[in-house]
Amino acid sequence: MNVVITGGSKGIGKGMAVEFLKRGHNVTICSRGQKDIDLTVDELGTETAEDHIICGTACDVADYKQVQNLWDFANDKMGSVDIWINNAGRDGIKTEFSNLPANDFKSTVDTNVTGMMNCCHVAMHGMQQQSAGGRIFNMEGFGSDGRSRPRLGVYGSTKYGLRYFTKTLVKECEGSKIKMCYLSPGMVVTEL
């Protein structure tokens, strides 16, 4: 299988890339910075069988054109995309909402909501063109189940919205060759 993992240069995304590679799959990762991608691809490439692909490119998921470029890059390198994992995420400054700079909460929403929607849209269109279709996974996080906590209002709100959006796409994809899914890893300590 050919897998794309957004936010794949560290944390959960990197861990998923390692596990997919161990199981013999091809993997394309992205992150905002090409340097992070190059380091991760070099590291994971030393552990990968020669007949498997590990590659990556810089992509800010909040930019639709960059997401389309990611799809094109992955499709060109691997030949198709069977699984697309929307793992890229951002958590901002840990303070009360009234103290947050506007650019901080905007950046979190841009990545966690707009970015996830950009990725779903691009992946759905690409997978509709493939005879086998594909699977899209959205990564949940704290707040997706409705729990709340002070100083996590923006992040939790984006994840609560992600769950609603994912449930909607599950229904919209019924009967098609695209399966819409979500991942809910629970509490995981990462750089985020």
Residue 95 CA to chain centroid, in angstroms?
A: 25
Nearest-angstrom CA–CA distance, 181 and 6: 15
**Cβ neighbours of 34 (radius 10 Å):** 14
Torsion of CA 147, 159, 156, 98, to 10 degrees: -150
Secondary element (H or E) of residue 136: strand 134-139
Q: Tell me the HSE value of 11 on the side-chain side, using a 13 A CA sphere.
A: 20
Nearest-angstrom CA–CA distance, 15 and 155: 22
Q: Which of 155, 160, 164, 182 is catalytic?
A: 155
Q: Tell me the HSE value of 112 on the side-chain side, using a 13 A CA sphere.
A: 27
155 counts as catalytic: yes
Q: Which residues are catalytic?
A: 155
